[in-house]
Amino acid sequence: MIIAIDGPAGSGKSTIAKQVARMLGFHYLDTGAMYRCVAWYALENGIPLDDEGALASVARDVPVVFSHEPGNPIASGVSFDGHDVTDAIRTPAVDKAVSPVSAVSAVRAALVEQQRRIAAHDDIVMEGRDIGTIVFPDAEVKVFLTASPEERARRRALQNAERGFGDTDPEVILAGLIARDEADSTRAASPLKMADDACELDTTHMSIDEVCDVIVSMANEARA
């Protein structure tokens, strides 16, 4: 079974997708991390963010490798080009670079192919922007998470403070989120858009457990 969880930055996708995967014993894939790897590589290697051909080669030729603690189907780290980039892909510089990178159709095509391959044999919870629309339009469960921009900025500030890096000023984060929402929703290639048959959940006033319970019930219904 595939559970597709899409939505804008800071809508709680990662926290919720991981918890749902744990509750159901499913695998989990963070597709945003894959776009971030390509953006990180471009910054490290001086590839201009408008060099679509070079970016597409990176996405095609360098596999994203997720690492797992023994017995845990939820990845705890990610490597790219032989480097552990688990933290490096979460910096403000990558936050900024990832929108233009993810707008390149050939980058998307290469990463979508990897995503479909990763999900081929497993029950999986996959989070991103286009899982229910493009990657797996036939996913058994499709959820589109939203929350007010202010709430999303507040959550991201808390998350960054806990991690010990990245912006922690909600005002700065809010401006970045709004810019990224705009770029992700208006790009020509696979814009952020709710699938017609997805269930929209506004999580502004919901707890994580409440959201997860709704999604697990949907999965159980789909299975029945």
Binding site for ligand DC (CB under 6 A): 9, 31-32, 35-36, 98-99, 102, 128-130, 180, 184
Element (H, E) at 120: none
CB of 10 to ligand DC, least distance (A): 8
3-state secondary structure of 57: helix
The pair of three-digit structure tokens given for residue 187, joined into one six-digit string: 């790009």
For the chain, how long is the longest CA-to-CA vector? 51
CB of 219 to ligand DC, least distance (A): 20
CA–CA distances in Å: residue 57 to residues 63, 89, 97, 113, 159: 11, 19, 17, 14, 32
CB of 57 to ligand DC, least distance (A): 19
Rounded CA separation 128/135 (Å): 10
CB of 82 to ligand DC, least distance (A): 22
